[in-house]
Chains A and B, each alone.
Chain A
Amino acid sequence: MNTQSNTVQESALESQRVAPAVLSATRPLYWSVRRELWENRSIYVAPMAVAGVIVFGYLIALIHVPRPIQEMAAHHHDIPHLTFQDPYNVASGFIMGTALIVGVFYCLDALYGERRDRSILFWKSLPVSDLTAVLSKACIALLVLPLITMAITVATHWIMFLLNSAALLARGQSVAALWSQLPLFRMDLALFYHLFSMHVLWWAPIYAWLLLVSAWARRATFLWAFLPPLSVSILEKILFGTSHFTSMLNYRFSGDATVGAATAGSFPFDPNMTHLTPGRFLSIPGLWIGLLIAAALLAAAVQLRRYRDPM
C-alpha cells in the first residue's frame, strides 16, 4: 500500500519537474487564448443564442404542426432518413453560418482593436511574444471556434432529438421509426469531418488573410479585407479578359468536391458518409498550398504586429 502511494507520489513529482519546461512555452499561449474568450464572448454566446432560437422554433413547430412526421414520410418514402434529418441539418447549417460570421468579424478585429485602443502597449509590456499573440488569435478562429460550433451543434441535435421523441410519445405515436432511422452519431461524425476539413484546413488561408489585414489596416478593416481581392478579379477581367483569380477564389470558398462542400446532390452531412474520403482530401495540392499560404500570412501578421506602432 505504502510503496504504491510512494511511486504515485514520485511519478507525480517527476511530472511536476518535467512540466515547467513545457509549461513555460505553452502557458502564455493558453492564457492568451483564455483572454481572447474573456474579451470576445460572442465566440460562444452567438452560436448558443442561435441554437436557442432553433430549439425554440423547433419546439413550436412540433406543437403546432400536426402529424408532421407521417406527412413528410409519405413524401419521400424511398429515403426515410432524410425526412427526420432535415431539421437537424438546418440547425447545423445555421449554427455553422453564425460561427462563420463570428469568425470573420473576430479575425478582422483581433489585431486591429488592440492597436486602436492602445491596449497593445499593455500586452507588449508582458512576456508574451508577438508570435504567441498571433497564434492565440489564429487558435480561436481555427480551433476553438470549430470545437465550440461542434459542441453546440451536437447539444442542439440531442435536445431536438429528445423533443422530437417527447412530441411523438405525447401523441401516442411510436418513436421506433425516429430512433432507428435518425443516424445522430453518424451525422455528428460527418459534421466533425466537415468542420475540420473545410472550416479549419481548407479555409485556414482565408482566416489568416483576415488576421493579416487586421494587423495592417489603420481603419476600415472590412473593406481592406474584401476590396483588394475584388479589385484583382475586376482588373484581371478588364485587362486580360480572363477570370483565373475569380475561379481560384471560388475554388477556395466552395471547396473541392472531396472536401464535402455543399455541392448539389451531396449535402455535407450525408450520414452514409460516402463523401468522407480523407485520403483523397489530403492528396489535393490546393489543401497544402492553402496551408502554406496561411502560414506565410500569419508570419507576416506577426512581423506587422512587431513593427506597427499603435494608432
Chain B
Amino acid sequence: MACIEAHALRKTYGSTVALDNVDLRVDEGRILGLIGPNGAGKTTALNAILGLTPFQGELRVLGRDPWKERDQLMRDVCFIADVAVLPRWMRVSQALEFVDGVHPRFDRAKAEGFLAKTAIKRASRVRELSKGMVMQLHLALVMAIDARLLVLDEPTLGLDILYRKQFYDSLLNDYFDRSRTIVVTTHLVEEVQHVLTDLMFINHGRIVLNCTMEEFESRYAEVKVKPEKLAAAQALKPIQERQVFGRSVLLFDHADRQQLAALGEVRTPSIADLFVAVMGDEKPETAQGAVR
C-alpha cells in the first residue's frame, strides 16, 4: 500500500519554483532518504507531506489530503523538523505529560524506558540539556508514538558523531518495523547509506534519481582502474571520473560487472559519490531519463 503518493505536486513561492511537478510514491514499510543540496525543495516537499503548507497537484498521505485533513492525519504521522524545536522552557516531565495528554497513540511507559537509557533527568528543563540530549528526548517522545509515518528533517544536524550513530541505531533497532514508514532528509548521507531502503535525489524542485537500495547497488559500480586500463575504462562511458591517491576512480551506471572487474577493483559507490556525480554536472534530465 502506498504511504505517500504524489502526482504533479507543485509549490511556488512568488516566482521561485520550490517543487516542479513532482511524482512520487513511497510504499509502506520503506525508509526513504530524500537527498538534495540546499534549496532543492526537500523541506518544501516534507512540509507539503506534513500538511504544513498548501500545494498544487495531487498528494495523498495514508490516503488523506495532508492540507485539508491535517488534524486527523497527525494522529498517524509524526515528525522531527529540526534538532532544536523542543520548547526551551519545558521540563522533561512536562513534555512526557503533555504528549501523553494529547496523543492517543503515545505509550508513556515506552518513552520512560527510552529515557532510562540516557542521562536525562525528569526535572531538567530543555534549555539545560545539551543538544544531543534534546535529540534523545525528542527521539524518545517520537519513538513512543505508534505512528505509521515518521518524517525526519535533518534530525542529526549539529550533533556529534556518537549521538548521530546512536540516533539511527535506536531508530532501526527500537522503532522501525515493516509496518512503519520513515522519510528522512539529511546532508550527512554517509550515515544513512546502510539505513535506507529507498533513495531519492532532488534538485531544483525535481526528482533526479529514484531507486531502491537494491537497484542502487546493482546499477552503480565504482572501479579503481589500473593505470594501463584507463583508456578501455573510459570507453565504457563512466558517469564520473575522479582521482584518488593518483589512481582514477570511475563511476559506472548500468555497466556489466564482469567487464568492469577486468579493469580494476570494483565496489558499490557511496551515496555521497553518486550524489556528486549526479548533481555535480547539473544535467538532471539525462539522469532522470536513465532512471527506471
Interface residues of A (CB under 8 A from B): 24, 27-28, 30-32, 34-35, 38-39, 114, 117-122, 124-129, 307, 309
Q: If the complex has contacts A38-B94, A309-B53, are A125 and B78 also in contact, measured as CB distance less than 8 A?
A: yes
Q: Which residues of B contact A126 (CB under 8 A)?
A: 74, 99, 102-103
**Beta-carbon contact of A127 and B54 below 8 Å:** no
**Beta-carbon contact of B85 and A121 below 8 Å:** yes
**Beta-carbon contact of B84 and A118 below 8 Å:** yes
User: For the complex, is B104 an interface residue (Cβ under 8 Å from A)?
Assistant: yes
**Beta-carbon contact of B74 and A125 below 8 Å:** yes
A260 CA to B87 CA in the complex, in Å?
41
The residue that B86 contacts in the complex, of A27, A28, A119, A128, with Cβ under 8 A, is A119
Q: Which residues of A contact B90 (CB under 8 A)?
A: 35, 38-39
A-B contact pairs, 27 of them (CB 8 A): A24-B104, A28-B102, A31-B98, A31-B102, A35-B98, A38-B89, A38-B94, A39-B87, A39-B90, A117-B87, A118-B81, A118-B85, A120-B85, A121-B82, A122-B85, A124-B74, A125-B50, A125-B78, A125-B79, A126-B74, A126-B99, A126-B102, A127-B75, A127-B102, A128-B102, A129-B70, A307-B54
Across the interface, name the chain B residue whose C-beta is closest to A38. B94
A124 CA to B52 CA in the complex, in Å?
8
A118 CA to B138 CA in the complex, in Å?
14
Interface residues of B (CB under 8 A from A): 50, 52-54, 70-71, 74-75, 78-82, 84-91, 94, 98-99, 101-104, 138, 142
Q: If the complex has contacts A28-B102, A31-B101, A309-B53, are A122 and B86 also in contact, measured as CB distance less than 8 A?
A: yes
Across the interface, name the chain B residue whose C-beta is closest to A29. B102
**Beta-carbon contact of A125 and B102 below 8 Å:** no
Q: How many A-B residue pairs have CB under 8 A?
A: 69
Q: Which residues of B contact A309 (CB under 8 A)?
A: 52-53
**Beta-carbon contact of B86 and A129 below 8 Å:** no
A108 CA to B90 CA in the complex, in Å?
20
Q: Which residues of A contact B85 (CB under 8 A)?
A: 118-122
A148 CA to B70 CA in the complex, in Å?
34
A118 CA to B134 CA in the complex, in Å?
14
A290 CA to B102 CA in the complex, in Å?
32
Q: Which residues of A contact B87 (CB under 8 A)?
A: 39, 114, 117, 119, 122
Shortest distance in angstroms between A250's beta carbon and chain B's nearest beta carbon? 38
Shortest distance in angstroms between A133's beta carbon and chain B's nearest beta carbon? 10
A120 CA to B47 CA in the complex, in Å?
13
Q: Which residues of A contact B78 (CB under 8 A)?
A: 125
**Beta-carbon contact of A129 and B80 below 8 Å:** no
A199 CA to B85 CA in the complex, in Å?
34
A31 CA to B84 CA in the complex, in Å?
22
**Beta-carbon contact of B101 and A127 below 8 Å:** no
**Beta-carbon contact of A125 and B101 below 8 Å:** no
Interface-central residue, B75, B89, B138, B142, by most chain A CB under 10 Å: B89
Q: Which residues of A contact B86 (CB under 8 A)?
A: 119, 122
A124 CA to B94 CA in the complex, in Å?
17
Shortest distance in angstroms between A178's beta carbon and chain B's nearest beta carbon? 45
Shortest distance in angstroms between A43's beta carbon and chain B's nearest beta carbon? 13
The residue that B80 contacts in the complex, of A34, A119, A125, with Cβ under 8 A, is A125
